[in-house]
Structure 1
Amino acid sequence: MEQLDLFADLGEPEAPKSEKTITLPKPTAGQWASTVAKPQQPASPAAAATTPAVGTGRPRSEFTLRPVDGATFGERVSGAWHGAHGGNRMEIPLGIVATLALWPQKGYARTLADFFRGLDAHQILQCVREVAAYWWMRRPDLIDTASVLFSWADEEEKLTKNELHAIRATFRAALDANALDHTGHADPYMNTEIDLMSWAVTSLRHKTAREGLGEYHTPPDVCDMMAAQIIGTDRETIHEGYSLLDPCAGTGGMFRSAAQHLRSLGLDPAGFTWFAQEIDPLAAAGCAVNVIVWGLGKNALVACGDTLAEHSLWTRAVKHRRAMVELRDDARAQMAIAYALGRVEQLVSGVAEAA
């Protein structure tokens, strides 16, 4: 995964212009379910290495271990959490998935997975805190939006015995479902094939709760088709500098499809402006995680709010990003001062001992 520079200068993205803005529609398709048709797998690993991804001209790479499909991944995470009687705090298993998705790695998923399997619940909590801190220094606005997925790890003394047991069981289940193989590629195209956060949300949240929230995650094949139709293939019409907006983004499924379609055209999604609005805090948090995993670049923002009541949240999102960057920079300055003072104390102590 290509990482952003430490303490990256994010600046403020240019406001979307109507003539260069694509608003991704929210279709009325039903939510994802196990009955959704799954793409046929190639007959052999050799065929997999040369089989082009649906709707693109790019070949699928061959994984060390073939990752499970999104529906199976979600079912295993949900099954592990509920099977261990973890309770109704969805943010905990979702945070575990987010931690694995965001963990910085460079192609050594199997070694990392073997190491992670040996961790106990308290060590896993430390991993959650560390990955949140790592990305907060790079994208403080997105990690603040996703904070609900990580803040529970700071409540270690409040977590019950069942929750700690379920945390470890869910962590191992996500590893066994090859979570790291979905997000550990140097090529962001490969990291964007499946929306792990959406499948986890769909599996963990009860059907009745989804209906009450009006939460209907669009099947990925439908998103792929719509993105291809809306964006088109004319490089004279669509180019870097355009903005893509989704007012009811969920975890960003339409963004995933749009990014993959742009890549199939030879365009870098990081050269576009992406703005997602979502009313559900957990889905918005998942979208913020995906924006990083999918390599959508520094001009990608996610806002949590009611699109129908507030309409565009762009101004609020930009102000939030500005505030988070200032807070990050203040923390960096304080750390630099603390480090400098520590070095001075070491030098003074060394001189005193020498005297």
Structure 2
Amino acid sequence: MPKRRPKTGYTHVQLDLFAQPVEPAPPSPMKAAVATPPPPAGPAPDPAAPPARRPHLVRTTPTELAEKIASTWYAHTASGSIAIPLGVTAALALLGHEHVKDRRDTATHVLGLDPAGLIKCLREIWAYAWLHDPYLVHCAAELARWLDEDPPSKVVTAVHAVARTAITSGLLSLTGDPDPAWRCEHDVLGALLTQLRSRGARNALAEFHTPPELANLIARMTMLEIPEPGGAFDDPAAGTGGLMRALALTLRLQGADPHQYVWSMADIDPIAAACCAVNAMVWSLGPNVLIYCGDTIATGDGAAQAAEQRRQILDNYERLMYGVAGIQAFIEADRLVDRLMSGVA
């Protein structure tokens, strides 16, 4: 496993009067373990040629997509848990990144699954995501917990309908581009959470998501100058992370790399906090993301608690991976001894 990066100083950018500085978290140990080798260098692009058109399945907006998914879910009235349609959408949003070459093939595969096959596919997506980033998947558990047991048939039918609606209505056109700068333009989960929650529930939780246009304006005003690498961005009332999306997009548009910064997000709502974790993967915020679910005003140290939890999760993960590697090595050695002994005999 790779050694952890030593702690360094950073510039702290506050998005809220109550934001507290946090230290950069150690990088995920899976970065090297599952890294995809870079593609071979091709010929230099012709500057006179028009830009390549990106293949979109269906052109849509997060709000339009969210309305269709919510309508499909409530038409089936299978369960009162909004974590289920959010979890389906979140899992499918993780499909179209650098590991998927053609989003049309991805869409065709998902649409070809029967309800039981789709449930199996969703479990596999979360399992692969855990291998890539165990901490963020742990933080997103609220969206995947319903898959721990076999859901009722009515829920399975509703989940299948939601997945088909999400794919055919253009989810991958918003979340499936291999370029993270394009994925940073949209917060699908934020729009869907708003659609799935009643007005009364949103008022009770004081849950009001910042419109993306306003978030982009705030990000540009906040970063008149790009912070030095190692800086930290904190939002103690992050919702689904809309302000962080805008900040990451602004960094990328100015040539900076979000992976070189710390991203600390907190929210009192566990579903919103789970959406933050998935969005951090969709937007490729990098190895230094901290997610805290709780009242940061009351505790005052949410980021520090999140950093400690992340350290424990990654430590446990490293021990597990070393254990798996040791067991595999023992099995291979035992097979080698058997072959050698067979040769002697």
Please classify the TM superposition score into its range, dividing by the shorter chain length: 0.7 to 0.9
Q: What SS does structure 2 have at the residue aligned with 1:119? A: coil
Q: What SS does structure 2 have at the residue aligned with 1:137? A: helix
Match of 2:110 in 1: 116
Q: CA deviation at 1:348?
A: 5.3
Match of 2:43 in 1: none
Structure 2 Cα separation of the partners of residues 84 and 124 of structure 1: 17
**Aligned partner of 2:161: which letter?**
A
- Cα pair distance change 1:9/1:314, threshold 3 Å: farther
Q: What SS does structure 1 have at the residue aligned with 2:263? A: strand
Q: Residues 11-26 of structure 1 correspond to what in structure 2 (within 5 A)?
A: 20-25=11-16
Q: CA deviation at 1:183?
A: 2.1
Q: Residues 105-254 of structure 1 correspond to what in structure 2 (within 5 A)?
A: 105-156=99-150, 159-232=151-224, 234-235=225-226, 238-254=227-243
Match of 1:43 in 2: none
Q: What SS does structure 1 have at the residue aligned with 2:292? A: strand
1:273 equivalent to 2:262? Answer yes
Q: CA deviation at 1:12?
A: 7.4
Q: Residues 331-342 of structure 1 correspond to what in structure 2 (within 5 A)?
A: 331-342=320-331
Structure 2 Cα separation of the partners of residues 208 and 60 of structure 1: 45
Match of 1:343 in 2: 332
Structure 2 Cα separation of the partners of residues 99 and 190 of structure 1: 18
Structure 1 Cα separation of the partners of residues 7 and 78 of structure 2: 40
Structure 2 Cα separation of the partners of residues 60 and 205 of structure 1: 39
Structure 1 Cα separation of the partners of residues 79 and 333 of structure 2: 50
Q: CA deviation at 1:14?
A: 5.0
Q: Residues 69-80 of structure 1 correspond to what in structure 2 (within 5 A)?
A: 69-80=61-72
1:256 equivalent to 2:245? Answer yes
Structure 2 Cα separation of the partners of residues 242 and 140 of structure 1: 23
Unaligned 5+ segments in structure 2 are 18-50
TM-score by length of 1: 0.80
Structure 1 Cα separation of the partners of residues 275 and 5 of structure 2: 23
Q: What SS does structure 1 have at the residue aligned with 2:291? A: strand
Over the matched positions of the two proteins, sequence identity in percent amounts to 32
- Cα pair distance change 1:148/1:11, threshold 3 Å: farther
Q: What SS does structure 1 have at the residue aligned with 2:234? A: strand
Q: What SS does structure 2 have at the residue aligned with 1:218? A: coil
Structure 2 Cα separation of the partners of residues 322 and 130 of structure 1: 25
Match of 1:297 in 2: 286
Greater shift in the superposed pair: 273-282 or 180-189? 180-189
Structure 2 Cα separation of the partners of residues 118 and 12 of structure 1: 47
**Contact 2:16–2:235 (CA<8 Å) still a contact in 1?**
yes
Structure 1 Cα separation of the partners of residues 328 and 204 of structure 2: 51
Structure 2 Cα separation of the partners of residues 10 and 142 of structure 1: 18
Q: What SS does structure 2 have at the residue aligned with 1:249? A: coil
Structure 1 Cα separation of the partners of residues 340 and 119 of structure 2: 41
Alpha-carbon displacement from aligned partner over 1:178-232 (angstroms, at most 9, x marks no partner):
2122222221101111101101111111111111111111110111111111111
Alpha-carbon displacement from aligned partner over 1:25-61 (angstroms, at most 9, x marks no partner):
49xxxxxxxxxxxxxxxxxxxxxxxxxxxxxxxx996
Q: What SS does structure 2 have at the residue aligned with 1:245? A: strand
**Aligned partner of 1:87: which letter?**
S
Greater shift in the superposed pair: 264-273 or 189-198? 264-273
